[in-house]
Amino acid sequence: MKFFLDTADLNEIEEAASWGALAGVTTNPSLYAKIGGKLGDFHDHMKKICEIVGPDCPVSAESVAMTRDEIVADGLKLAEIAPNIVVKVPTMVEGLAATKELAKHEVPVNMTLCFSVPQALLAARAGARYISPFIGRFDDISDDGLAQVANIIDAINNYDFTDCTCKGEKVEIIAASIRSANHVTQCALMGADIATVPFGVLKKMVQHPLTDRGLESFMKDWEKVQNA
């Protein structure tokens, strides 16, 4: 499983990138608004993220256009920011049509706001390089987000979509809207290709109380060795 950071915060991205396990970044309009992002700075900000993580890490930048032609135009402009930009497109009719067109231009698309197996299958058939099913937002409405993602992974893995993606690559599932380290565990067990996690969850993924306790006792015992 690969880990993406779900944030537009440059400090968080720099810090997480320095930990050595970061494989990409996902952003969305809400995450950009959360850091006080301004419309005119959006492309520059995405460029900075691409520079921090380097060319091998995909960075999802979301189109806010609502018609296929506008999404394609927006996506082509976003793709010019850096070679590692992935255009994030909502799962809707106009988004599917735009994804097909962007794939023809060899622009990778991350289809977002995916909540069902039929949506995911259509996204893959339209040529999405990544599909982002959301977990936490299901839990928010008292549904089982993990069960929904499990179904999407099973359905997508039943088929070969490499003839649909822009460069013949495998479509990858990004488990999104992750709220806990347990979500990550469960997604890994069900074979999600990627988990995109907020920085707070990434920090929790490193921690375990038995690691802390073990480290404390090793340090105490090492003091005894030094004083022996």
Which residues are designated catalytic?
88
CA neighbor of 37 nearest in space, from 62, 67, 65: 62
Which residues, 161 to 190, sit near ligand E4P by CB under 6 A? Answer: 176-177
Least Cβ distance, residue 197 to ligand E4P (angstroms): 8
Supply 177's token pair. Answer: 């809207």
Burial of 29 (0-12, 13-18, 19+ CB in 10 A): middle
* Residues 6+ positions from 214 with CB-CB distance below 8 Å: none
| Position among 92, 136, 139, 205 found at the interface with ligand E4P (CB under 6 A) | 136
Which residue, 147 or 215, has its beta carbon nearer to ligand E4P? 147
Is residue 26 part of the contact set for ligand E4P (CB under 6 A)? Answer: yes
Cα–Cα distance measured from residue 42 to residue 36, given in angstroms and rounded to the nearest whole number: 11
Q: Dihedrals φ, ψ of 77, to 5°?
A: -70, -45
* Residues 6+ positions from 189 with CB-CB distance below 8 Å: none
Task: Give the DSSP H/E element, type plus range, for residue 91.
Answer: none
Which residue, 33 or 160, has its beta carbon nearer to ligand E4P? 33
Is residue 132 part of the contact set for ligand E4P (CB under 6 A)? Answer: yes
Which residue, 6 or 12, has its beta carbon nearer to ligand E4P? 6
Least Cβ distance, residue 69 to ligand E4P (angstroms): 24
Which residues, 67 to 126, sit near ligand E4P by CB under 6 A? Answer: 112
Judged by CB under 6 A, which stretch of 98-106, 114-122, 131-139, 155-163 contacts ligand E4P?
Answer: 131-139
Return residues touching ligand E4P (CB under 6 A).
6, 26, 28, 112, 132, 134, 136-137, 176-177, 196
